[in-house]
Amino acid sequence: MSALLLRKFDTEDAIKLSFLMSIPAVLAAEIGIGLMGAVTLDIYSLVALFFSFVFGLITIDVFLKVAKIVDFSYFCIGLGILSVLALFL
């Protein structure tokens, strides 16, 4: 996201693009975990995959709305604090 902002992208476009760029990385990680045999594919994992996708889209939408309201620097600081707190919870 910072590279996009340094290249003079609009803040909202930089956020959208950074979220979109994370999709292939997450997909590749899931495929890698599946190939290692750490996850079994059954109906429960498919339901979990569906709901995580839906809630991921909702989260991205909420983040975009918050980024429009709040100054972008405060948005980044708040998101960073939430990320660090997630490590300890």
Location of structure tokens 């708040």 = 78
In Å, what is the CA distance from 41 to each residue of 29, 38, 45? 15, 10, 6
Residue 25 gets the label, from left (phi > 0), alpha (psi -120 to 50) or beta, of alpha
Q: 29 with 81: CB under 8 angstroms?
A: no
This prediction's pTM: 0.60
In the chain, what are the helix, strand and coil shares in percent, each to the nearest 5?
85, 0, 15
Residue type at 21? Answer: M
Interatomic CA distance for residues 43 and 46, integer angstroms: 5
pLDDT tens per residue across span 34-85: 788 777 777 887 888 889 888 988 988 888 888 788 777 787 788 889 889 9
Look at residue 84 in the predicted model and tell me its pLDDT. 93
